[in-house]
Amino acid sequence: MEALYVFLATVLSYLLGSIPTSVWIGKAFYGIDIREHGSGNAGATNTFRVLGKKAGIPVFAFDVFKSFFASKLVIFFPYLIAGTPHYVNLQLLFGISAVIGHIFPIYVGFKGGKGVASLLGLALAIAPIPAFAAFAVFILTLLVTKYVSLSSLMAGFTFPIVIILITKTTIVSLMFFSVLFSVLLVLTHKKNIERLLRKEENKAYLFKRSRNK
């Protein structure tokens, strides 16, 4: 019976993660498909860049919330003890399903965002201190360089370092996830890395509305 509930929660997590916040807000309130403007990405960064902070802030918040809430579906397994390997494994399963949904959303042709905000939500749910450390590195890097992509990568590298070397977790799945966190960010930012190396990456001023749509 547990296997059935785990399967249903996993599917629900994917469907929750698939909610294309930026696409729906763009179409409902601005009459545009966010994926046809700016970088063409359906994430919070492009929403800030194209539509400004009034759209960017709620998109970012909800993208974080999706995976955070999905990982909390584990509370419907009351016989599990918080912090145990099995408990964390289910949190990771549900949260990662939501992140996959965000990157490949079923509702809009599987063309979504890069998963940075959703990964942050999952990280906050299962490892809040390392997540806050990674977020602090993100903000600091962004303030200094103005590159969202570089800031995301730096945050991604910070997360496993804090998980493994500072908190010294003994949960293997959590250590694996922290490394996967970094790898996934690198894979979803391949084009950004190439542009950074060529010094062609656009700088982002997230709280200034772009004139180029």
Cα angle 69-75-79, degrees, rounded to a multiple of 5: 160
Euclidean distance between CA atoms 73 and 70, whole angstroms? 5
What's the whole-number average pLDDT of the chain?
Answer: 90
Residue 115 near residue 102, CB atoms below 8 Å: yes
| SS3 state of residue 201 | coil
The pLDDT of residue 91 is 96
pLDDT in tens, 153-167: 999 899 999 999 998
Indicate the domain borders of the chain.
2-197
Alpha helices (runs of H) in the chain, residue ranges in sequence order: 2-17, 21-25, 44-51, 53-71, 85-103, 116-126, 128-145, 148-161, 172-188, 190-197
Mean pLDDT for 100-125 is: 90
Model confidence, pTM: 0.83
Q: What is the DSSP string of 100-112?
A: HHHHS-GGGTT--
The pLDDT of residue 209 is 47
- Whether the pLDDT of residue 104 is over 60: the answer is yes
| SS3 state of residue 98 | helix
Euclidean distance between CA atoms 119 and 98, whole angstroms? 9
pLDDT in tens, 32-64: 999 999 888 898 889 988 998 899 999 999 999
